[in-house]
């Protein structure tokens, strides 16, 4: 989460990829992200960083946020969940 947003400015993309790959090399195989981190930029970063060994890790992504509304909030409607899952599958 902090690589892309929320706790200070985002890290350099190459440094973020290097960090994720380093923790994988040290044995981490579970990675957690969310559409709200960035928004979306963290999922893209995690997907790119883990692409070389995607079949050896588990990636979890939280969703259900209403990012399209100026008010924010949650959106767990079936059509929104389907849209998010299809978008995530592309990473």
Distance of CA 10 to the CA centre of its chain: 13
**How many alpha carbons lie under 13 Å from residue 34 in its C-beta half-sphere?**
12
Catalytic annotation present for 24: no
Catalytically annotated residue among 16, 17, 33, 37 = 37
Instruction: Name the phi and psi angles at 60, rounded to 5.
Output: -110, 140
Q: Which amino acids are annotated catalytic?
A: 37
């Amino acid at each position: 989460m902090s690589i892309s947003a929320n706790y200070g400015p985002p890290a350099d993309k190459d440094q973020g990829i290097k960090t994720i790959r380093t923790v994988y090399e040290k044995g981490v195989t579970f990675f957690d992200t969310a559409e709200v981190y960035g928004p979306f930029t963290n999922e893209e970063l995690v997907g790119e960083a883990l692409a070389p060994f995607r079949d050896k890790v588990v990636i979890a992504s939280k969703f259900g946020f209403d990012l399209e509304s100026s008010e924010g909030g949650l959106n767990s409607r079936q059509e929104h969940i389907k849209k998010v899952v299809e978008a995530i599958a592309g990473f």
